[in-house]
Amino acid sequence: MRILILVFLGQFLITSAVSAASCGNGPAGFTAWRDAFIANAGRYGLNPRVVQSALQNVKYSKKVVRLDRNQKSFKLSFKQFYAKRVNNAMIRRGQKLGQNYARLFNSIERKYGVPAPVILAIWGLETNYGGYLGNMPVLQSLATLAYDCRRSAFFTNELVSALIIVQRRDMSPAEMRGAWAGEIGQTQFLASSYVRYAVDYDRDGRRDLIRSVPDVLASTANYLAKKGWRRGQAWGPGTANYRVLREWNKASVYVQTISIMASKISGQG
């Protein structure tokens, strides 16, 4: 789930009263900021021992800041974006996966109302159906971006959410590897969305959006359902469900691509 999505987790919104320390625009002050954040862990409703263990070796990442400053995908036209991200092989693979997981998709649609082609389109577009989830340490990325002044409050909220994931034992810090901006799992949830919408669909006691396909697909459907997905209705431009897809990603080229991919996977495109 790309960085343009602005997801707020109400009970963890960052206020000046609980700000750990001043932000910075370079690595010099990061260690002091990190240590202050750890010291203030309790103010965020976090277990200080969990935060200390998770963040004590986290370092500032110049790579993450550089990537944050150079986002270009959404400057493309729809035609350019679609050509860059989608091909016929992806559509065929989505159709095959729809058949392979037909029972799971049917169960998910009964529960959440979201049809398989839409989930498959998101799955394919985000990570090529789990083929590449990113391999950057999520806590390091989020700590760097929380410290960086450009969007400090937003990413501090994401960092707190990521630590909640660790605290409730859905994943360990070492397991939390993802995209450069901290997106996690096979459909690239922001940490705040993970906390709010991830479900344990395989009932193994943890919400695992990296390894558990049932958790991944059901959580994606749950997100859309909670955003207002209308069961049994179309998802093309001008529909209520198309507006729900905009909750997944604000970039118009991305939403249009999901919609068209889903139609093609369903055999209607």
- State the pLDDT at residue 73: 60
- State the pLDDT at residue 66: 94
**CA quadruple 176, 188, 89, 72: dihedral sign:** negative
CB distance 260 to 248 below 8 Å: no
Averaged over 126-144, what is the pLDDT?
Answer: 97
Binned at pLDDT 50, 70 and 90, residue 75 comes out as confident
Q: Does residue 133 sit in helix, strand or coil?
A: coil
Tokens of 155: 């990413």
Cβ partners under 8 Å of residue 177, min gap 6: 133, 134, 135, 136, 137, 138
**Residue in this structure with the two tokens 């206020």, named with its chain if needed:** 15
Cα separations in angstroms, 269 against 114, 144, 165, 235, 236:
18, 42, 38, 12, 11
Residue 71: pLDDT above 90?
no
Cα separations in angstroms, 104 against 70, 115, 217, 222:
38, 11, 9, 14
Binned at pLDDT 50, 70 and 90, residue 6 comes out as very low
Residue 17: pLDDT above 80?
no
Element (H, E) at 195: helix 191-197
- State the pLDDT at residue 70: 84
Specify the amino acid at residue 142. Answer: L
Rounded to whole angstroms, how far apart are CA atoms 250 and 107?
28
Residue 167: pLDDT above 70?
yes
Residue 9: pLDDT above 70?
no
Of 66-70, 123-127, 203-207, minimum mean pLDDT range: 66-70
β-pair partners for 222: none
pLDDT tens profile 76-90 = 899 999 999 999 999
pLDDT tens profile 42-51 = 999 999 999 9
Residue 4: pLDDT above 50?
no
Residue 7: pLDDT above 50?
no
Binned at pLDDT 50, 70 and 90, residue 72 comes out as low
Rounded to whole angstroms, how far apart are CA atoms 260 and 138?
31
Whole-model pTM: value is 0.89
pLDDT tens profile 122-132 = 999 999 999 99
Domains and CATH numbers, the chain: 23-60+134-184 (1.10.8.350), 77-132+196-265 (1.10.530.10)
